[in-house]
Chain A
Amino acid sequence: DAGVTQSPTHLIKTRGQQVTLRCSPKSGHDTVSWYQQALGQGPQFIFQYYEEEERQRGNFPDRFSGHQFPNYSSELNVNALLLGDSALYLCASSPTGMNTEAFFGQGTRLTVV
């Protein structure tokens, strides 16, 4: 089992550009959540996808959007990048349910210059 895989591992973008980050969930998991972790901070919940729909959203602007595909993989898109978007972006997958455990990928380190 490959676990949760994210790509790319590192990315450098310029202010104003757009970026797409990708996540493949652990086998058997149908729910994907995205988190942003700024340097020296705890992760912040961006949104969660289940059944190809955004089910919950944290306090992030509409510049942050996502998608979930039929195979449960997911993308996080960020438009009009700001310097403050520089962070580690973490993807977590879990089976549906209230008593489940989230498994995390290694993250994508995004640097905006």
Chain B
Amino acid sequence: AQSVTQPDIHITVSEGASLELRCNYSYGATPYLFWYVQSPGQGLQLLLKYFSGDTLVQGIKGFEAEFKRSQSSFNLRKPSVHWSDAAEYFCAVGARAGNNRKLIWGLGTSLAVNP
């Protein structure tokens, strides 16, 4: 079955510290992988995506993610966290839906940033 697991429900880091949010997926074919961020009262914003090619993907706001097929993982990283990064982060896999894709989501990781 297709699924996405985000093992960490809640993470707290200090401002300026590095960050890694974990994501593991289960998908039979080549995965299309996404990280979205959701701030309070806001919609979902795409941080980055992996379709193919270079397994290290750069995104917006200084985020990057690395696709590791052998570990079925797509972890999100940022070298130095800012207070404005506090939000809910979702990993998703794009599963085939006819000629399009539907997104299968993890439960999310809530990030808190201490000053």
Contacts and interface: CB of A to CB of B under 8 A. Distances in A.
Q: Do A and B come from one complex?
A: yes
Interface of A: 4, 31, 33, 35, 41-45, 48, 50, 55-56, 58, 90, 92, 94, 96-107
B100 A98 contact: yes
Nearest to A95: B100
6 contacts: A35-B105, A41-B107, A50-B98, A101-B49, A104-B36, A104-B43
Contacts of B97: 48, 55-56
B101 A98 contact: yes
B51 interface: yes
Closest 4 CB pairs of A and B: A42-B105, A56-B97, A104-B44, A106-B43
B56 interface: no
Contact of B104 (A45, A92, A94, A96): A45
B108 interface: yes
Given A98-B96, A105-B43, A107-B43, A45 B49 contact: no
B71 interface: no
A102 B32 CA distance: 12
Given A42-B107, A42-B108, A50 B100 contact: yes
B69 interface: no
A94 B99 CA distance: 12
B96 A44 contact: no
A101 B105 contact: no
Nearest to A99: B51
Best-surrounded residue of B42, B45, B105, B106 (most CB of chain A within 10 A)? B105
Contacts of A97: 99-100
B102 A56 contact: yes
A11 to B, nearest CB: 16
A100 B102 CA distance: 11
Nearest to A30: B100
Nearest to A55: B98
A96 B103 contact: no
B99 A101 contact: no
A42 B90 contact: yes
Contacts of A92: 44, 103
